Structure 1
């Protein structure tokens, strides 16, 4: 089944983003221009600048965008003693203050972030904390997950093998199972673009299906990969839904066709995979629903599943990367409702 020809998925709509970066204006070791050039060399379309508690690094953003040929999203890493949040899509010149907020004031911090038009997401929630990284470990209690837009489930390079990220990924799964539609993203936490300082390990990127990263994340139209771009679509009862969308089914038949596609062309110059049979797992609130073998050279598959007890579904790509078997890519969820 050629999904490109069928029109079910249009891979050229997906834009590659790095959503967690720093410059000399906080603890980074490059300028915004150097960061942008490094991002362009990585075939990225967008970066979000998320310096710690400052937006001063965005000065001259438009000139840098023109010179490097990429787009820059206004952001900030809201950095406190009790946790870090990525705020994405801040209005020009806005700043989210953190200094008067204590461990019980997360709701106030979220209220102020949303008043600035920003999305709020947990940054590396299970990274080791003080004294090695003050506030990196998330300690805030989240009273209302509806206020959280996303979780950075993969942080750093070769993120899938890090125990802290595996815990974050499990947290996201738990939140989905509790009925909250929270997106999952990745972030390199990029501090240095000097020659030789990058790409020693696989790097994951966040792909978005919209022109604007903040809008895509808000809608859950997001996929994450260290290699080929993995996308998914579900169809049943005469309707269809893509990643981040809702598939509404009638009360009768709950048979759903799930189509998955691997795009091996996107950013192919900056990642490598050994020739192998890859595995795509369809995972939902009931666990692993189905496993699909993708022999070398295969790029698309379609399977029929029973969605009678499902509330959400994602796709995961597993295989050999950098000498070990690991998760290489995953999609955000498609959600299911009954009329």
Structure 2
């Protein structure tokens, strides 16, 4: 089959470019089976398409498939070459997904699955689908297999796609069972959660059951399922929630210019990802996340993988993931960048972006709950957890072994906790107190303000300690706490050790 060498840039409004290939056609079931009106049960047809994509290809290459009547299942497999490339040059990486007869419009209803580069084959029928794909009838019409040439070698990318249609009775699609949006909880309390997790429904290796077990072992109260560009995991948690574990649904919207955690979106709601920062489309999809009841949380803004850096800005965000998995230099940069936004909020309208942390765990030995966000919420429910995060009533810890309390108290008994404002006069004395337990030996406490660190002290080797510092609102517009491990180089470089726990700020003074 010859590909049509035309960039249909208007095919997806706001997309970074689309190449549409010539369609693959199949015979009707009755034609193949000599007029059998019974649908040709048990028969199948297979066709293979090959092609070449040069460097600079558009983000998405669509292969139309004309699906006739009587198809029970569509199965797709693909492969592509991986030639040797010069040092420092990206090689070939190509993702895959599929849209059904309802079309490929951005945000449209045709989405049926996306496995990125995690799978080389998938199948969809009414009764079941490969993880990352959505079960449902295989109706007649033009389906589109979508290839995503993520990176292309200088030699270009040779691909092969094989499509198999299996004919027969369509079967019944099971009604999805989604997790409840409330668990028993403990009333108003601090709840621990990890809201960036992957399973076999995208590029993870764990099953939902294994993730749920790991969450309980980590002492978590809630988790959020956030697969890359798919909602197929939403009904996959049946029987895994309970009074002790709230399971929220969401998505990691994985664009070419950064990833965003859509935390707590309505079950089954898909958020599109086919745009770049230069398309000026993210605001629209941030609104869609909120319309679906979710929070907009940019993930690993300074991640080192291709496409992981956050390029969309933070104006549309509800919070930011400042700590992703093990605390590494990219997290250090993100924390400092986030702290700079606090300084801007102190001199501006007061709107600020809360910090959260997630494990982004995909497989062993990555640890579910490293780190975890600890949220003060009225109960263990989607709405209450989201309200706590949105208000910044949360702190981050590397494990459930760590506990802390952080408060600011005014001279007349005024009190404020994490994410709150202590309303005192600019020259009124304020006492800031931190109590921490469960950290390792060699850790230190740092109190950070809009001027930087203004107080620090060592924690006893027992792993428990307190800090008390006095200031005024004129001296510190806000104060937040960090608990750090000892620096790897003993402090010779001046770079602090990795994070053990950190809080959102307490704001000081009247606005």
- Which bin holds the TM-score, normalised by the shorter protein? 0.7 to 0.9
Which of 359, 375, 388 aligns to 1:216? It is: 388
Which of 205, 218, 221 aligns to 1:42? It is: 218
- In structure 2, the CA distance between the partners of 1:163 and 1:207, relative to structure 1 (3 Å rule), is same
How far the C-alpha of 1:97 sits from its partner, in A, is: 2.0
State the partner residue of 1:87.
Answer: 262
How far the C-alpha of 1:47 sits from its partner, in A, is: 1.1
Which of 419, 422, 439 aligns to 1:247? It is: 422
State the partner residue of 1:304.
Answer: 470
The yes-or-no answer on 1:205 pairing with 2:372 is: yes
CA RMSD of aligned residues (A): 2.6
How far the C-alpha of 1:129 sits from its partner, in A, is: 3.7
- In structure 2, the CA distance between the partners of 1:202 and 1:217, relative to structure 1 (3 Å rule), is closer
Matched positions, count:
304
The yes-or-no answer on 1:109 pairing with 2:278 is: no
Cα deviation code 1:129-171 (max 9, x no counterpart): 42xxxx21112244xx3x31111111122x1xx1211111111
Partner-residue secondary structure (3-state), 2:253 = strand
Highest relative contact order (Cα 8 Å, sep 6+), 1 or 2? 1
Cα deviation code 1:47-102 (max 9, x no counterpart): 11111112220214352113x94221221111111111011121233222233666
- In structure 2, the CA distance between the partners of 1:16 and 1:321, relative to structure 1 (3 Å rule), is farther
State the partner residue of 1:5.
Answer: none
Q: How far apart are the structure 2 equivalents of 1:24 and 1:322?
A: 35
The yes-or-no answer on 1:122 pairing with 2:298 is: yes
Q: How far apart are the structure 1 equivalents of 2:363 and 2:489?
A: 25
The 8 Å contact of residues 122 and 152 in structure 1, kept in 2 or not, is answered as: yes
- The runs of 4+ residues in structure 1 deviating greater than 6 Å are 321-324
The worse-fitting range, judged by mean Cα deviation, of 206-215 and 278-287 is 206-215
Note the residue ranges of structure 2 that are not aligned, 5 or more in a row: 1-185, 346-350, 491-496
Q: How far apart are the structure 1 equivalents of 2:267 and 2:333?
A: 34
State the partner residue of 2:340.
Answer: 174
- In structure 2, the CA distance between the partners of 1:259 and 1:26, relative to structure 1 (3 Å rule), is same
The 8 Å contact of residues 101 and 109 in structure 1, kept in 2 or not, is answered as: no
Note the residue ranges of structure 1 that are not aligned, 5 or more in a row: 1-9, 265-271
Q: Scaled by the length of structure 1, what TM-score is found?
A: 0.81
Which of 355, 370, 373 aligns to 1:184? It is: 355
The worse-fitting range, judged by mean Cα deviation, of 101-110 and 328-337 is 101-110
Which of 451, 459, 462 aligns to 1:286? It is: 451
Q: How far apart are the structure 2 equivalents of 1:256 and 1:139?
A: 38
Q: How far apart are the structure 2 equivalents of 1:47 and 1:168?
A: 23
The 8 Å contact of residues 230 and 331 in structure 1, kept in 2 or not, is answered as: no
How far the C-alpha of 1:279 sits from its partner, in A, is: 2.1
The 8 Å contact of residues 321 and 328 in structure 1, kept in 2 or not, is answered as: no
The 8 Å contact of residues 273 and 321 in structure 1, kept in 2 or not, is answered as: no
The yes-or-no answer on 1:31 pairing with 2:233 is: no
